[in-house]
Chains A and B, each alone.
Chain A
Amino acid sequence: MSGALRVALIGCGEVVQAIHWPTLATLGRSFQVSVCCDADQGVAENMARRCGARPSDDPFAAIASDDVDVILVGAPDAFHVEYVLAACDAGKQGVLVEKPLSMNARMARDAVDGVGRSNTAVVVAYPHLFDPMTERAQAAWREAGPLVFGKFTTIIGPNQAFAGDSAEVTRATNLSPLDIALAQFNYAVAATEVIGASASFANVTSHALLAGLTIHDLPVMRRLLGEPDDILFAKNYGGEAPPGVGLDIILKYGGGRMHIEAAVIAARECIWGLELRDCDRSVAVTYPTSFALAAESVCSVRDEHAGAIRETQHRGVYQTGFKREWLHLRDVIRNGAPNLSTVADAARDLELVGEIACRLA
């Protein structure tokens, strides 16, 4: 099979404009954008002009088009599953669906059933899972003993603070107050199904934070360490923004503890990484800032033995997880490579989100 895979961009918001389109532009021999679809016609037309593609205002027609092989699902979370299933029904070769797969685990499981019945390769886009230094960290941690202490830190400023550095983002102009209200209600609907209607506003916000931000860390954690034994602690806190925008979570891994801290802050800052320790080895990864298109992540491995300390730093690879997830999708489609980020994995991530959110409540 040769020739570029033709891509339909379903949803052309800032993540697609500032990350996926520039990334695809570096993979022209593998991917070619053929259709740009967005709920805002102006955004779709602008994107189509930039990509040399045709605009569409009908996502299902775009997905089913004969000139489309692969779908990027970059629409709002509430629509991810139906577009994935539409791609499967249309017999498309592949789908890259932005995280989170859906708004809660129950909705995500609909995708698991549907994808399982199809031949469509569906990869869930977790840039940190595909980051080159996550792979390096996994190799280094394989030689380590049981976890004593670990930490995932995700503290980032608002997307708009970063997106404009990667692309000139065209924003939707047709959002009514009702559209905005319904988008907010979607979070309440998804959260109250899991944590109950007696949930506080803060806990509803925290559920959204878990599903939207902490979800970056969970698949990496599960890849490196497996499933946690228990959730020992989960608490949200306010700060620079509405209630529930910071989280502290402690998970049990055997005798070890994993601390996940996550927060959305107002500042244009990005503190993003992980650290794992056993008794004499530590493995740490620092991820690049949000929306960076070509940037290095760094993996530091520190070993202490017989009073001597050896520290090795792995870096210098400027290919981000965003590019590598597209390359992975291509490998799954073209070469039958095993899928490293399946919808079943993503559904389990959302189950863990729900379990943590219930612990908050």
Chain B
Amino acid sequence: MPSRMNAPSGTGVGILGAGLVAYLHLLGARGAGMQLRALASRGRRTAEHRARLFGARAYTFADIPMIATSEDIDIIVVGGPNGTHAAHVRALLGAAKAILVEKPLTLTLEDADALCEAQQRGASIAYAENHIYTPLIAKARALIEAGEIGAVRRVSAKFTSPAAPSGAWHVSDEMAGGGVMVDMGSHLLATTQYLLGGAKFVAAGSAEFEMEGTLEIAGTAALTTGDGVRVDIACSGRDPNPVCYYDIEGEKGVLRASYHPEPQALTLTKRGSEQQIAFDDQFSATIAGMFRRLGYVDQLKAVVAAWRDKTQPEIGALQGRDTLEALCAIYLAARAGRRVDDFASLDRDRSPIAMYRG
């Protein structure tokens, strides 16, 4: 009996990278009705193992040109180690396919600048901040834009996990570019900017890291947007009860968007009264519903739709560069022990962790 996913029709997806990110995008693709066609990893054995599990063709990173020219692939997710993103995107630029780049966009602002220029020349480069594509965050932004909490004064966001990633590249300066602040802080930064209608960060300070091994296992930072909103972020890779939430404080009330743990929740507190706000797929007990809730389904749909319409994705290389810029400022602030507010003078050729090392 044929499986329900065997039909060779519909949008074709290629994924570069075979770690957790590959699983997330695969299940997001299935939820979006798309078909994984190719999977690439550094090593042949890992690629073949995952590709067999996922029902895709196996490639190594050396085969990226073959993936780029595959006629049955429409969108390629760049999800390998952080330090490979820039090179992998460059290898895909001539392919006229939709490119979705996992965070961080690149490890240096110089590489990010190059991708922004490529996007401005017409390449379809999207930045994979999945939180932005969740029904939770979409609803939260709609409420903020409708003035439910008035002018936003402050955002507090937190993202923790029970353990930091332990794979070999995750602990390498050259491949990871940083620890939990890059891994989880990037989500908080990009999503906060989105919630605030695309606000730009103009200053980073009060940044503190706890180091474990060579990279930071926990970190906090305070940033300021151009509109004067204070944004406090906190990340940790050793929380036995992991959480992820965004508290948006306005003049008239507070909105908490709780992304993790399940069940997700959106809570509006005004005049001392708390109201739970419903959103799509909030309690869906299906795989597609879960991955829609995580943002992976609508992210792929939006990126493919933009590519087909020959428009730029809403969250693209420019937004990815903004996030990287804020990260670089945070790492520099953590090292210098002072506020950093001249983002234009940040070194363009150093990764966030290199900013910290000095």
Contacts and interface: CB of A to CB of B under 8 A. Distances in A.
B1 A351 contact: yes
A354 B3 contact: yes
Interface in B1-47: 1, 3-6, 20, 23, 26-27, 30-31, 33, 45
Nearest to B288: A197
Interface stretch (A119-127, A142-150, A173-181, A300-308): A173-181
A178 B5 contact: no
B49 A79 contact: yes
Centre residue among B30, B53, B286, B291 by max chain A CB count within 10 A: B53
A196 interface: yes
B286 A103 contact: no
A192 B30 contact: yes
B55 interface: yes
B23 A185 contact: yes
Interface in A140-189: 176-178, 181-182, 185-186, 188-189
Given A178-B20, A182-B23, A190 B286 contact: no
Interface in A220-267: 243
Contact of A358 (B1, B285, B290): B1
A277 B102 CA distance: 59
Contacts of A190: 53
Nearest to A77: B53
A236 to B, nearest CB: 13
Contact of B20 (A60, A78, A181, A201): A181
A141 B212 CA distance: 66
Centre residue among A188, A189, A194, A355 by max chain B CB count within 10 A: A189
A354 B4 CA distance: 10
Given A60-B45, A79-B49, A192 B55 contact: no
A110 B3 contact: no
Given A107-B53, A181-B20, A82 B30 contact: no
A54 interface: no
Given A178-B165, A200-B285, A354 B30 contact: no
A351 B2 CA distance: 9
A6 interface: no
A189 B162 CA distance: 24
Interface in A310-361: 351, 354-355, 358
A201 to B, nearest CB: 5
B287 A82 contact: no
Given A82-B49, A178-B166, A182-B20, A201 B1 contact: no
A189 B53 contact: yes
A195 interface: yes
A165 B94 CA distance: 62
A78 B30 contact: no
Contact of B4 (A81, A103, A176, A196): A196
Interface in B125-156: none
B54 interface: yes
B52 interface: yes
Nearest to A103: B53
A358 B49 CA distance: 25
B354 to A, nearest CB: 26
Nearest to B291: A197
Q: How large is the interface on B (under 10, 10 to 19, 20 to 34, 35 or more residues)?
A: 20 to 34
A199 interface: yes
Contacts of B111: none
Given A82-B52, A354-B1, A197 B287 contact: yes
Contact of A204 (B3, B161, B166, B287): B287
Contact of B3 (A103, A181, A188, A193): A193
Interface string A197-213: 11111101000000000
B286 A194 contact: no
Contacts of B1: 351, 354-355, 358
Nearest to B4: A196
A103 B52 CA distance: 10
A194 to B, nearest CB: 5
Contacts of A181: 20
Given A105-B3, A106-B55, A189-B53, 13 more contacts: A110-B52, A177-B163, A178-B165, A182-B20, A185-B23, A188-B27, A189-B54, A193-B4, A193-B30, A198-B287, A200-B285, A201-B285, A354-B3
Contact of A178 (B49, B163, B290): B163
A93 interface: no
Contacts of A199: 286-287
A350 to B, nearest CB: 11
B94 to A, nearest CB: 32
Contacts of B290: 201
A21 to B, nearest CB: 26
24 contacts: A78-B49, A78-B53, A82-B45, A106-B55, A107-B52, A110-B52, A177-B163, A181-B20, A185-B23, A188-B27, A188-B287, A189-B53, A190-B53, A191-B287, A192-B287, A193-B30, A197-B31, A198-B287, A201-B287, A201-B290, A202-B285, A354-B1, A354-B3, A355-B1
Contact of B27 (A103, A178, A189, A355): A189
Centre residue among B5, B6, B55, B287 by max chain A CB count within 10 A: B287
A82 B48 contact: yes
Contacts of B27: 185, 188-189, 192, 197
Nearest to B289: A198
A214 interface: no
Contacts of A204: 287
Contact of A176 (B26, B33, B166): B166
A248 to B, nearest CB: 20
B165 A193 contact: no
A104 interface: yes
Contacts of A195: 4
A199 B286 CA distance: 5
Interface in A82-138: 82, 103-107, 110
Contacts of B53: 78, 103, 107, 186, 189-190
A193 B287 contact: no
Centre residue among A181, A186, A192 by max chain B CB count within 10 A: A192
Nearest to B165: A178
A321 B54 CA distance: 33
Interface in B155-199: 161-163, 165-166
A354 B55 CA distance: 15
Contacts of B5: 192-194, 196
A188 B26 CA distance: 10
Contacts of B288: 197-198
